[in-house]
Structures are given as structure tokens and as C-alpha cells.
Structure 1
Amino acid sequence: MMPPSFRARRLSRITAALCVMAVALPAMSGACAAATLRFGTDPTYPPYEYKLPDGRLAGLDIDIGNAICAAASVKCVWVQSSFDGLIPGLQARKFDAINASMAPTAARRAVMDFTQSVYPADIRLVAARGSHLAPNAASLTGKHVGVLQGSTQSSFVKANWETHGVLVREYQDQDSIYADLVNGRLDATVVLGSAARLGFLSKPEGARFELAGPRIDDPSILGASSVIGVRKGDAKTLQALDAALARLKQDGTIARLEKQYLGDGQAAK
């Protein structure tokens, strides 16, 4: 006979698995009211993930995650991390999924699995008005460009521009990049278009800056959409999240939240 402690741990694991499946099977959700789905996120990237003055989390991805949990009567638990710490945190089982406007790049797909697309991508260069800078290596040679550490923007800039003399600086959060743009320590940043519009360009400190040149397209590195990431091989969580996302798209929830937070601009990092 197995010891009581082992039986309890086994029952807990079975219950957790069933409650994750409740996202896909709503009829099961009533028995799982106390269950949790843990999302890892980086709350320094408005309008996708950010903190309100009272410390509560807000943003497009936060609302989408909460809608997923509400659909299954499962409690959302949000675990905060720097963006470059999210994949290690997922692999260390600190949370069940990454919900942080993440793009499904080939490098990430090698170590984790992804849901269906949540919303499309729009990656842009931000620079001072009248600087005549463009999103290419020739224009930015000798210039200081700030990028979010661990992001696809960082991977793109390093692979395509740094070897041509662009001076790349990585930061733990996007707000520090904006601050260094304002004080002249940076010449530009590569960032999600909607994040730049709503988190910087629409504010007084961003008045001297603009989206410079066309959007940056490189599907091999940047990806084309935002997704939610799960541990490699975690088919139950992946299927449950995909089922929930399909329902939220069908009932118009995601479209409504996109319009609320992004207007006409969408993006993934």
C-alpha cells in the first residue's frame, strides 16, 4: 500500500491535470474552482503587460489570460519575471505557461511549444523626429540602438545590424530604453509598434520621437504573431489553452480586447 503522503501528491497531480483540461472541457470546470493556472509574465511592457499604481497587473495579455481562466472557473496566478527569465522559469516549472506577447521563433520552438496565434506582429524602429534614421544597418552604423534583453528584437538587431557597426545595448525593461532615448544615450530602439505608440510616443516625453521607416519583417527571427508558450511536450496544457483561445476568438472577446488596448496596431516581442 502506498503511503498517505504519496497518495496525496498523486491525487494533487491528477486533480491539477483535470482542472487544466477544464479549459477545454467546460463541464469539468465546476469541480475545479480552487485550481490554478500559473502564467509567467513581464509586467514592464504596456499596453500588453504593466502594473497599475496600486500594484495590480493590467494589459492586453493579462486580460486575455484572465479570460482564459474565467472560461474554465480556474484561478489565474501571475508570476512576474524579467522577459529573459521567462523561458528558464517555465522550464523550472515556476509557472505553467508564458503569457507575455511572445513571438513563436524557431529558436524558441526548439525548447517550448506554442498555442495558436493570439494577435499579429508589428515591429518598428523608434527614433527622434528629423533624425532621418531608417530600420537598416546602413542608416544605423555607429548609432546606439536599445533593445529589450531576451526579445526577438534583440536577436534580430544582433544578427542583422551589430556586425555592420550598429552599437547594440540590451536593457532589462523597455521603460529604461525610453529614458535613455530621451536623455540622448540612445539614438533609437527596435520595439513593438503598439507598445511604442501607447507606452511612449503618446506621452509628453515621447513627443520628439516617431516610428521611423516601415515595419521590420523577418519571419525567421521575429515571428509573425503573439502566442502563449508552454513546456515542450505539455500537450494537455497546450490543448486546453488552444481550446480556450478558439472560444474567446469565436465569442469576440479577443477582438474586443485588441481594439481596447491596441486600436489598429498589433505586435509581439
Structure 2
Amino acid sequence: MKFKTTIAKGAAVAALLFAGAAQAQDNLRLGTEGAFPPFNFIDSSGELAGFDVDIGLALCAEMGRTCDLVAQDWDGIIPGLIANKYDFVIASMFITEERKKQVAFSDPYYLAAMSFVAAKDAGITDFSTEALSGMTFGAQSGTTQADFIQAVYPEADLRLYASQDDANLDMASGRLDLMVGDTIPLSDWTLKTDDGACCEIIGEPITDPEFVGDGVGIAIRQEDTELVEAINTALAAIIENGTYKEINDKYFDINVRTMKAE
């Protein structure tokens, strides 16, 4: 009888361990930056929030998975994914050939362009390499915006920042002649914030595929092919069932999948 009781207890423990392992496998870790409003930011309660976060959580719900949020500085966001700190990254990351060498990407979940920002009285109308040579540019470190400035304006004084907010601060303080960043966040900053009132978006949007890639995608480790497929299936589903539009309309006046008003 004692032997049978031991077996029964062992079976119960095994069942609990199996259930725990299954539950752990159902959990995913979503990595994002938390410093790129309105796409990802820390809200007034200290929680990660924004368009990227809401889309990521909607994808998790569609996949039937529980997701934990992980904040990561931009410079370390791809190394953190490769090091298994989280399972996928949704942080407004352009899909570029260079990044494809390190990670896999989902289908694009929105389109994006980059823009120049300058002080309202700057009077800059010529954006040629020669005209802007020697000017002081600002951009977030490790971004395609920084790559663009280095490639097109090699003689510029480029200052790199840990976050877009840090770059905005120096732009507002008059320490930069120009700044390059994603169009939508910079539009929000210049039109909807007090410190951004100093400045305006100038020139045409920068849409060169060499720098903006094939849109904005979700980064996944290259070996996690099943997760790539699952995320793509879930993305198509939330677009089809209207969840994507609800989230889009919470943050934007345009459809960011097409960059057009509806």
C-alpha cells in the first residue's frame, strides 16, 4: 500500500510539472524600447504602453499565448533578442537587409518614413550634401536615421543619442541644426508638445528603401520559424477582424499600414 501511495504522489507531481512546463511554453516575452511615443513608452503608472505594445498584446491574444513585456534600451534590442532575453521584438523596427542578417522579420505591420526637423526660423530649403555639409545633426544611436545621415552627409557633425527623447531635448535647446527621425513621432512632437513648438518638419519625407527598408516589422530569432509563421497568421487575423483598426485609431488619424487617411 505504501508503494502504491508513493507512485500516486509521484504521478501527481509529474502531472503538475508537466502542466507547469506546458504553461511556460504558452508564455512569450515581448521586447520593446519604451522610449518612442506614441509607439512605445512608459505611461503615468510606470507601465509599458503604446501602439507597438497594444499590437503585440493583440497578437499574443490571437495566438492564445500569454505575453510578458520586457523593456530594453534600443542599442541592445537585437542583441537581447539573440541572447534569448525575450522571444520577439515589436519596437517600430525598419525591416532592412542589414538587420535580416541577424534576425527574421514578420510581415510589415505598418509603413514608415523619416523626416528632417529644424527650428522654425532655420530657413533650410536645400537638402543637398553640399548645402548641409558641416551642420550639426542629431539622431538616435543605432537607427536607420543615423545610417542615413552618415551615408548622405558624411561631413556633418553627427551627434547620437540613447533615445529619441534625448535628441528632441537637444533640438529644443538649440544644440542641433537638424534632426532626422521617424515622421509620425516627430510630427506628434512638433505639433502636440510644448518643447516641440520650437521646431517643424521640413523637406520631403525620406522614403529611400535603403534606409526605411520594406516597412516596419516584428523581429524574431532566425531559428524560430514556427513563431514567425504564427505571428504572421495572427497579424493577418487582427487586420481582418478589425482589432488592428481599433488600435490604430486609438493613436493615429491615418491608417499607418498605408500612411493614408481613411
**TM-score of the superposition, structure 2-length normalised?**
0.85
Q: Which runs of 5+ in 2 are unaligned?
A: 1-13, 258-262
1:141-160 alignment, distance < 5 Å: 141-160=133-152
1:159-195 Cα deviation digits (max 9, x unpaired): 221x2x2111110011111110111111121111110
1:8-19 alignment, distance < 5 Å: 15=22
The one of 43, 54, 57 equivalent to 2:45 is: 54
Distance 1:156 1:92 in 2: 28
Report the equivalent of 1:67.
58
**TM-score of the superposition, structure 1-length normalised?**
0.83
CA RMSD of aligned residues (A): 2.4
Q: In 1, are the aligned partners of 2:190 and 2:200 still within 8 Å (CA)? A: no
Letter in 2 for 1:143: M
Letter in 2 for 1:81: Q
In the alignment, does 2:192 pair up with 1:202?
Answer: yes
Letter in 2 for 1:236: E
State the number of aligned residues. 243
Q: Quote the offset at 1:129 in angstroms.
A: 1.1
The one of 116, 120, 123 equivalent to 2:111 is: 120
The one of 154, 172, 176 equivalent to 1:182 is: 172
> Compared with structure 1, are the counterparts of its residues 225 and 187 closer, same or farther at alpha carbon in structure 2 (3 Å cutoff)?
same
The one of 197, 207, 215 equivalent to 1:225 is: 215
Letter in 1 for 2:46: G
SS in 2 for 1:215: strand
Q: Which structure is larger by alpha-carbon Rg, 1 or 2?
A: 2
Q: Quote the offset at 1:14 in angstroms.
A: 7.8
SS in 1 for 2:205: coil
Letter in 2 for 1:142: G
Letter in 1 for 2:66: K
> Compared with structure 1, are the counterparts of its residues 13 and 105 closer, same or farther at alpha carbon in structure 2 (3 Å cutoff)?
farther
Q: Quote the offset at 1:109 in angstroms.
A: 0.6
Give the fraction of aligned pairs with identical amino acids, expressed as a percent: 32
